[in-house]
């Protein structure tokens, strides 16, 4: 089960691109600006990257689709952001323990659920000890059970099992603002990498 993300960008089949950052991220950054180095996996056209960079952090957005990176680079820079064509599961050694934060929005729900263990290991590997993982998880996407197409939902218990060994869950909440159609379907979680 895999998706040709490059083809989807080339054909304009990208319903996850809402034309701006996640509303809850925008609200969160007003009172909790991220600092240091931030990684955004599956950054798409970079709306979340630019929102975080505008708050002062150095941000690296990665995506496996060349067209996504091309789209992101067409936007004027707002701060210290850059975009790289890269696979989260095969990052160069320079990314190892290189980040203070990771922001997750649409990457986790897009990958094959069988790769979620690898995802958790990849996130732990790029964060410095004590680094933070801020993640918007899609608990209940509008999909038929057993669908082979993303976005794939996840349960709270699965999240606890996936991230519990490497991360301490600091807080979680349902976003007060989100994109239309996602109301009550998401959960924002803030984790800290265990030493």
Lookup: tokens for 15: 């319903």
- CA proximity to 9, closest of 65, 51, 78, 90: 65
- R_g of the chain, CA atoms, integer Å: 15
Domains of the chain: 19-193 (3.40.50.150)
**Cα–Cα distance between 182 and 172 in angstroms, integer?**
17
pLDDT in tens, 72-100: 999 999 999 999 999 999 999 999 999 99
Cβ within 8 Å of residue 161, ≥6 positions away: none
**What pLDDT, on the 0 to 100 scale, is given for residue 1?**
44
**What pLDDT, on the 0 to 100 scale, is given for residue 143?**
64
**What pLDDT, on the 0 to 100 scale, is given for residue 19?**
86
Spell out a b/e string for 72-105, using b for 16 or more CB atoms within 10 Å of the CB, else e. beeeeeeeebebeebebeebeeebeebbbbbbbb
Q: Low-confidence residues of the chain, pLDDT below 70?
A: 1-2, 142-147
């Amino acid at each position: 089960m895999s998706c040709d993300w490059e083809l989807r960008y080339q054909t304009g089949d990208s319903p996850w691109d809402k034309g701006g950052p996640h509303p809850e991220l925008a609200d969160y950054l007003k009172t909790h600006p991220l600092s240091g180095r931030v990684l955004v996996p599956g950054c798409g056209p970079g709306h979340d990257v630019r929102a975080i960079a505008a708050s002062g952090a150095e941000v690296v957005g990665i995506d496996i689709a060349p067209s996504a990176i091309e789209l992101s680079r067409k936007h004027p820079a707002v701060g210290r952001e850059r975009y790289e064509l890269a696979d989260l599961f095969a990052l160069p050694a320079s990314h190892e323990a290189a980040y203070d934060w990771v922001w997750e929005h649409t990457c986790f729900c897009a990958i094959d659920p069988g790769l979620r263990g690898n995802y958790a290991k990849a996130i732990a590997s790029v964060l410095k000890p004590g680094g933070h993982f801020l993640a918007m998880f899609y608990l209940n996407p509008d999909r038929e059970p057993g669908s082979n197409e993303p976005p794939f939902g996840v349960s709270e218990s699965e999240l606890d099992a996936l991230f519990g060994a490497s991360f301490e869950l600091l807080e979680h909440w349902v976003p007060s603002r989100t994109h239309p159609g996602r109301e009550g379907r998401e959960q924002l979680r803030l984790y800290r990498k265990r030493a």
